[in-house]
Structures are given as structure tokens and as C-alpha cells.
Amino acid sequence: MQEKFIFCDPDKCLGCLICEFVCSAAKGKSTDPLLSRIRVVNFEPVGSMAIACVLCKDTPCVRVCPRKALKQEEKTGVVLVDEDKCNGCCWCFEACPFGAIAFNPQKKVVMICDYCDGDPACVKYCPFDGALTLSRIDEVAHSRRKDVFKEILKETAGKRA
Amino acid sequence: MFGYMGKILRVNLTDKKVSEEPLDRHTARKFLGARGLGAKILFDELKLGTDPLGPENKLVIATGILTGIPIPGSARFVVMAKSPLTGIWGESPAGGFFGNELKAVGYDAVILEGKASRPVYLWVNESETEFRDAGHLWGKLTRDVQREIFKEVKDETAIVGCIGPAGENMVKFASILFDFNHVAGRTGMGAVMGSKNLKAIAVRGTQRPKYADEEKLIDLSLKELANKGETTRRGCYWPDALDKYGSNVDYRYWQLTGRLPTQNFRKCTFPGYQNVIAETVSSTILIRTNTCPHCPIQCNRIVQVSHPYEVDPDYGGPEYETTAALSSFCMNDSLAALAKANELCNKYAMDTISTGVTIAFAMECYEKGLITSKDTEGIDLTWGNPEAMIQIVEKIAHRQGIGDLLAEGVRRASKKIGHGAEEFAMHVKGMEIPMHEGRGKKGHGFSYTISNRGACHLQMESDDLFEETPYPEVGIDETVKADRLYAGPEKVKLVKVVNDLFILYDCLPICRWTVYPDGGKRVETFAKIINAATGWNVTIGELMTVGERVCNLERAFNVREGINRKDDVLPKRLLEEPLPDGPYKGETIGKKALDKMLDHWYALRKWDKDSGIPTREKLEELGLKYVADELENIGPPRKAEKHSPS
């Protein structure tokens, strides 16, 4: 069984920032969105997407860390930050191809989504149906295939009749 | 000070000076913020007879305690100045990311004063304010301006509020467009900005206020967010209606109950309504929805049309007021033309309500021969001509030909045209009447007369909503008679309570979509949130008093400009002409009934019955002694003088 990851559907995400706040509240006990581990990108003027750690197999962040502060849990795939070892050099930032690592300006260490022990608060509070989900990669792929199929049906609706 | 940034930014455009002022603790508690704060600043700083388009006028953009707190509907801010459209108190609330970002650069409010010698825009980056040349942006459309500014400040996450050509040309009802499709529409705030040669304000910051009890605030906010289904539920319709259909969900309801403003208020049902109702929009031109920060409602529509008009989705889509003003009110049943007119209004930054009412006024003039095709340069202004409607929008924005006259709003235009045109100029105190039929819901109709910014649908909710929903915590109990056709003392009591409540909502500020009586008895929650944020101990009673205080202060502002009881009127058509068909056929408001309601209103407000001026007793009770002194200084009620609204 593959692990599930936080998946944002840009067609459904409206960039309301609720996930950012909920993450700061759950993880940092603060209303400061800078403490969020999930980040929303708003493309002007229409279109947005939330990005959190996607649990890569190949974890470039872990490999580049010069102080061995990052470690990937074997079972869940979550990357844990050892805050004592991390000195906020942010090499992992540059290595992460998704921009899924955030910097804690108070503690001066990096923050990576830890999936709230398998029940992410951001997914729970996302108000838009299906915008932010906890999905296996095959589920995402399958729903994509369904979307493509629907499109084809729409396009051929006239012809088939 | 907890809950606030504690600073106000004052920008003098004349000598390009920027200063910071502390926000006084007592002012904050007394007026809360946003609309209240702006009312205080403008009453204190503007002098009698200030020219709305002169350098002495001040434009205030203010946020409140709730701005930035992650609960649904809190992402609001209010733009205020003396209005060029009405010559009195002008205010225009808006949503989107700008308010939160303004707080994030460290200010509760910005005061813009003076006049720049050349076009400039303001770039506020983490408390650093910079004047930048806007010569090359002058004349450009709103979206292009915003994109250009992103490039120049090298920050795509900046939030930009800007005016379009309409604001530059000082169209009296020009608006300010924030963040692509959030608009501070009414009372001509865009013209004030244009008169100051200020093209745009861009803000970007990461600061945030300190909160007294952050943990409690988080708890309350999470509860509010989890509650999202409740906040969008409205008893009249169906759950999550706003999510699916946006504010335009009202359109069909008003049509079916015979209260849809149609043909400049001559009719109350519209045969072509099927073409423009929300269901049609959703199934044809809607491409996606949008929302404000921390709000699950997604009422914002985004539409795209390619034929017969090209409509750019960047400028959003029409909501209810726009739809009614530019369709039934002008008898236009083309959805594409409506979307196009809405797009143009956002492109040039003009208020869609005033634009629609002005076009309908012009169409009635054309029908009656007061405007001829020679005046319109060949445009055939017959009712419902979509092509003509779109051409006139262009003309108004650029003040070309007849557009120059219509850009003054219906009050001034009707005076100039004469020959009885004043009779069908649908305005109160100079502001065009919005899209709610006062004859079929008399509390709402009455609220147009007493609204401080002129005819406004946001000072009182439709009577229908209160018919089955008492709200005793604020004073709407069984003794209040909410029946939509009833126009007597108990209705006036309802209007007063809701008026105070709605002014309070603008002071917090909070979006009205999240606070409707059936889904959103939220004042108690707001009191809790304010207490957690600021460490105060406010009660519902104290909050309601703030609403009343701000209402009195705004009224005093208007009284200083020469407003008195004679200005609290409705156009003859709403007063005397009966509704022509539908379930409420034959209903009028009636001059006598209105006079009686006004008597009750002044008595309830403790204002002088003959002049409609707040009494010293009332003002002192509300802690506004200095306001009473100032009103006494300017002497007894005057007739409209040269400086006063014309």
C-alpha cells in the first residue's frame, strides 16, 4: 500500500488561505500564517494552489542537509526536522522542487509538514469540496483519468447521438 | 494595543510627505475601526464646504479589529471621503486581500490628503512608503495597471488598488478596483483618488497585530470555520445558495414576488429574466468562482464570453446589483451584453449600480424626447438596446459627448436636462437607488431615505428576512412587526435596530453575507472574538452603541454640509406611482406614510423632529459632546448654500 499525500486540485482551490491559518494554529498555536507548513500560491488573477510536502521517495532535502537534521520516517514517508540540529541554513529550501519547506522566523529553523499523524488539519478544514484531499497517488491519477473521460464525453456528445 | 496595529499612515500627496500617527486607545474603543474610525477622522479634519474633488478632501482607507482574523467574512475594509457624487458623507466597503495586506504593512488606516502635481502611485512595502511616478500608467485599464505595478515593484504577491480612466476623468461615480475584481464601488471614491492624481496603492507586508489571548482567538476562529455551512444558509432560499449561484440568487426571487426593479422603477417584473438569472449564468458563461481570504462562501463569479462580445474573465463577473441594474433596469435581456457592460465598468472602474441607473434614466429621457439621437451622436437609446448600453458605458467612462453629462450622475444630469426630468431621476441625496424595490418591502424603502450616504441597500436588510426570525439579543423581538408591507412605528423600530447593526458590521468590519439573521446571529461571537483579540470586555450592548454613535456622527457630518429633514425623501415614483403588476400590485409608499415613519425615526433616534438634526442630549449621551458643539457653531439649519450639495 502506498502512502497518502496532501493533494491540492488547482481547479477547485480558490486560495482562501484557510489551510494556512489552520496549520499555524495546529502546529504553531498561533494565527501567524508564516508559521504554516502548507503554503498557498495565488496566481493573478484567477487560479491558486496549496502546496505541502509530497513525501518524495528521493528526498533531496534530506540528502542536502549538511547537519543531518532531516530524516525521513520509513513507514510514513514524513520528513522530520530535528530542531536542535537545524540551524536554518535553508539548503533544503533550494533542494525541494516543490517549495514545500517553510522557515520558522521565530525559532530560526525549517518546518516541513508532518501530516498531523495521518489526519491533517488543513484537509479537515478545507471548505471547498475536493480542493484539498489526502489521496494515494493512484487515486489522484484515477480521478484525473475520469476528468479526461468526462471531457471526451462532452466533446463527443453531439457526435454519438 | 492588542488587536490593532496601533498606527495610522498619513500621506500628503502635495509635498510628498509621509508620517505615522498613533491610533488613540479611546478612539479605538469608541469607534472600533473601519467605518467608525473614518467617520471620526473625516468629521474632525474636514471643514464645512470642502470641495470633494479639491486637495482639501481626504481619502481614508481603514481596517478594523476583525480584518485579518481568520474567520469567514472578515477580509473587509472601508474607503471613505466626502463624496463627489452626493456632496455629503461618502463611504464604500470592499472585500478581498487588500485590507489584510494593509494591516500587514503595519497600519490600521491610511489617510491620503493633498494633491500630487503629477500622476503618482504609492508603494508601501513593510512600512516603507514610496511615491512612484505613474505618468506611464495614466489612462491605462485597471488590469494592465496592476500587472505593470507587479513588474515594477518586483513583487507579484503585492496587492494593488487602482482607478481606471473613469476615476481619472472624475466620473462622479467612479470606483476603486482592488485586487482585480474586488470593488469599492459606490459614492465615487475613484473620482476622489483621481482628483488627487493618485493612480494606485500597492501594499505588501508580513506584520500582524498582537492579540491578547491568542489561544482563545484560535479556538473561536476554528469554530467559526467549522461552522461554515451555517453562515451561508439563508432561510429564504436553500443551503449553500451563495456558493452555487453567488448573490445573483436573489434575482429570481424578486422576479417571482413581483419586486424586481425594472425599467427605471416603472415596472416590477421583467419578461426576459430567464436569460440572466443565476442558474443560467452558472450553466452558460460561469468559468469559476472566487473568494476572499478565510471565507468559504465563494460568492465571487468569474465569467467568460466570446460571442457576440468578448468578455475577459480577469474582471470577474456580475453579482446581483450589477445584474439587475444592467439588465431589467435597462430592459436588456442579453446576458452577453450584461457581462460585457460589467467588464467595462470594472475595466474603467465605475460603479455598476450608478451606471445602470444612469443609463436607464437616459433611456427614459430618450423615450420622452428630452434627449435626441443628435445628443447621443446616433446611438439608439431605446429601452433594452444592448449595443447602445455598451456604447454609453464607454462614453461615460471617457466623458465623451452625452457621456460627459451622464457622468455627473442622475441628479445633476436631470437638473441640466430639465423639462421634468427630475421626476424620474431615481436618486436619494444624489446617490442612485440600488436594485431593491422599496414599494414591496417598506422597511427597505424607508431605509433609502435615512441612509447617511444616500440611497443605499446596505443600511437595512430586506424586510422578508426578519418576518420569521426574531433576534431578541439586539432588540428584534416579537414586538417588532416585520411584515414586508407594513409601514408603521414597529417597522421603524426594526429599521433602527438593523441600521445600527449594519453600521456596526462596517466598523468591525464584517461581510454581510456571513451575518444574515437566519444563519448569522453572530454579534455574540464577534463580542467574544473582539474580547479575545483586544483584552477588552465588550458586550453586545456596547457594540450596538458603537453602531448608533457612528450613525449619529455621520449624520452630523451631513448636517454640517446642510442636510436636514427636507433631504430625507424618496423620488416621486416610489412615493406615488403604484406597483403595476405582480403579487403586490397597487402598493406605494406614500408621502404621508413616509412622513409618519420619519417622525417615528427622529423620535427613536432622539433627533429634532422638524429639522432631523441630532440633539445635543443624544450626542452627549453617545459621548460626542464636541460634535454637538461644532453643530452649534455652524448655526441653525440652513438652506442649501453654494457649498452644499447641488
Q: Which of B209, B206, B248, B226 is nearest to B294 (CA)?
A: B226
Q: Which domain holds residue A115?
A: 4-136
Q: Please name the residue of chain A whose CA is at the shortest distance from the CA of residue B181.
A: A45
pLDDT tens, position by position, B137-161: 999 999 999 999 999 999 888 999 9
- Is residue A56, in this structure, part of any structural domain at all? yes
Report the alpha-carbon distance of residue B256 to residue B239 in Å, rounded: 19
User: What are the φ/ψ torsions at residue A128 (nearest 5 degrees)?
Assistant: -100, 120
Q: Do A127 and B289 touch (CB under 8 A)?
A: no
Choose the closest CB to B226 out of A16, A32, A125.
A125
Cβ(B70)–Cβ(B535) under 8 Å?
no
Residue A106 in contact with partner chain B when CB distance is under 8 A: no
Closest CA to B86 of B364, B443, B428, B357: B428
Which CATH number does the domain housing residue A35 bear? 3.30.70.20
Contacts of B134 (CB under 8 A, 6+ apart): B119, B120, B121, B198, B199, B200
Q: What angle do CA B577, B583, B588 make, to 5 degrees?
A: 25
* pLDDT grade for A46, boundaries at 50, 70 and 90: low
**In A9-160, where do the E strands start and end?**
39-42, 48-51, 70-72, 79-81, 102-104, 109-111, 132-136
Q: Which of B502, B501, B491 is nearest to B597 (CA)?
A: B491
CB contact under 8 A, B70 and A18: yes
State the CB neighbour count (10 A cutoff) for residue A64: 15
Q: What is the pLDDT of residues B533-560, one digit of tens each?
A: 999 999 999 999 999 999 999 999 999 9
Residues of A in contact with B314 (CB under 8 A): 45-46
Instruction: Write out chain A residues lying below 8 Å of B217, CB-based.
Output: 31
CB pairs under 8 A between A and B: 68
- Which residues in B278-303 are b (16+ Cβ under 10 Å) and which e? bebbbeebbebbbbbbbbbbbbbbbb
Query: Is the N-terminal amide bond of A45 cis, ω within 30° of 0?
Result: yes
Most A CBs within 10 Å, among B69, B151, B218, to test the A interface = B218
Domain B7-204 class, CATH top level: alpha beta
- Tell me which residue has cell 464570453: B305
- Could you tell me if residue A146 is inside a domain? no
**Correct CATH for B234-432 of 3.30.479.30, 1.10.760.10, 1.10.569.10, 2.60.120.330:** 1.10.569.10
- B-chain residues near A17 (CB < 8 A): 70, 293-294
For the residues B429-446, what does the mean pLDDT come to? 91
* Position A152 in a domain: no
pLDDT in tens, B381-418: 999 899 999 999 999 999 999 999 999 999 999 999 99
Contacts of A39 in chain B (CB under 8 A): none
Q: Mark which residues 118-157 of A lie under 8 Å from B by CB.
A: 125, 127-128
Chain B residue whose CA is closest to A18: B294
Q: DSSP characters for B490-519?
A: HHHHHHHHHHHHHHHHHHTT--GGG--TTT
pLDDT value of position A132: 92
DSSP string, B86-122: TSSEEEEEEESSHHHHHHHTT-SEEEEES--SS-EEE
> For residue B133, what are the β-bridge partners?
B120
Residue B209 to chain A, least CA–CA distance (Å): 9
> For A121, left (φ over 0), alpha (ψ -120 to 50), or beta?
alpha
> Is B234-432 the same fold as B7-204?
no
- From the list B70, B181, B289, the residue facing A45 with the nearest CB is B181
Q: How far is CA B340 from the centre of its chain?
A: 22
Whether A159 is in a domain gets the answer no
Q: Which chain A residue is nearest to residue B205, measuring alpha carbons?
A: A34
At B120-137, the pLDDT tens digits run 999 999 888 999 999 999
Asked, for residue A142, whether it belongs to a domain, the answer is no
Burial code (b: 16+ CB inside 10 Å, e: under 16) for B222-247 equals bebbebbebbbbbeeeeebbbbbbbb
pLDDT band at B638 (very low <50, low <70, confident <90, very high): low
Question: What is the interface pTM, i.e. ipTM, of the complex?
Answer: 0.86
Chain A from 14 to 53: CB within 8 A of any B CB: 14-18, 21-22, 25, 29-32, 34, 42, 44-46
* Residue in the block written with cell 421634468: B420
Q: Over the stretch B467-525, which tens digit does the pLDDT of each residue have?
A: 766 677 777 777 777 788 888 888 898 889 889 989 999 999 988 887 765 544 678 88
- Is A57 among the domain residues? yes
Strand partners, B566: none
Beta carbons within 8 Å of B177's beta carbon, 6+ residues apart: B142, B161, B162, B163, B164, B183, B346, B349
How would residue A159 be classed by pLDDT, with cut points 50, 70 and 90? Answer: low
Q: Does residue B315 surpass a pLDDT of 70? A: yes
Contact yes or no for B293 and A16 at CB 8 A = yes
Nearest to B495 by CA among B594, B619, B388, B367: B594
Position B242 scores a pLDDT of 77
Q: How many domains does chain A have?
A: 1
**Which residues does chain B have within 8 Å of residue A128's beta carbon, measured at their own beta carbons?**
296, 298
Nearest by CB to residue B295, choosing from A16, A25, A42, is A16
Report the pLDDT averaged over residues A10-24: 90
pLDDT tens digits, one per residue of B196-206: 999 999 999 99
- Residues whose CB is less than 8 angstroms from the CB of residue B173 and which lie 6 or more positions away in sequence, other chains included: B85, B186, B187, B188, B191, B350, B351, B354, B355, B358, B407, B409, B432
Whether B423 and B241 have beta carbons less than 8 Å apart is answered as no
Given a cut of 80, is residue B232 above it in pLDDT? no
Q: Scan residues 272-301 of B and list those with Cβ closer than 8 Å to A.
A: 288-296, 298
CB B393 within 8 A of CB B48: no
Query: Are B217 and A31 in contact (CB < 8 Å)?
Result: yes
Question: Are A82 and A92 in contact, with CB atoms under 8 Å apart?
Answer: no
Per-domain boundaries in chain B:
7-204, 234-432, 446-452+462-507+539-633
> Nearest Cα to A16, choosing from B89, B145, B135, B291?
B291
- pLDDT tens for each residue of B571-616: 999 999 999 988 898 889 989 999 999 999 999 999 999 889 999 9
DSSP SS3 for A42: strand
- Give whole-number Cα distances, B534 to A35, B128, B220, B505, in Å: 22, 26, 14, 17
pLDDT band at B288 (very low <50, low <70, confident <90, very high): confident
Domain-located, residue A153: no
Chain A residues lying within 8 Å of B218, measured CB to CB: 25, 29-31
**The Cα angle at residue B3 between residues B1 and B9, in degrees rounded to 5:** 70
Q: Does residue A147 lie in a domain region?
A: no
The DSSP bridge partners found for residue A110 are: A103
As given in the structure block, the three cell numbers for residue B119 are 500622476
CA distance A25 to chain B (A): 6
Q: How far is CA B574 from the centre of its chain?
A: 21
Give the domain B446-452+462-507+539-633 fold: 1.10.599
Please indicate if any CB of chain A lies within 8 Å of the CB of B579: no
Q: Is the pLDDT of residue B646 over 70?
A: no
Q: Do A14 and B289 touch (CB under 8 A)?
A: yes
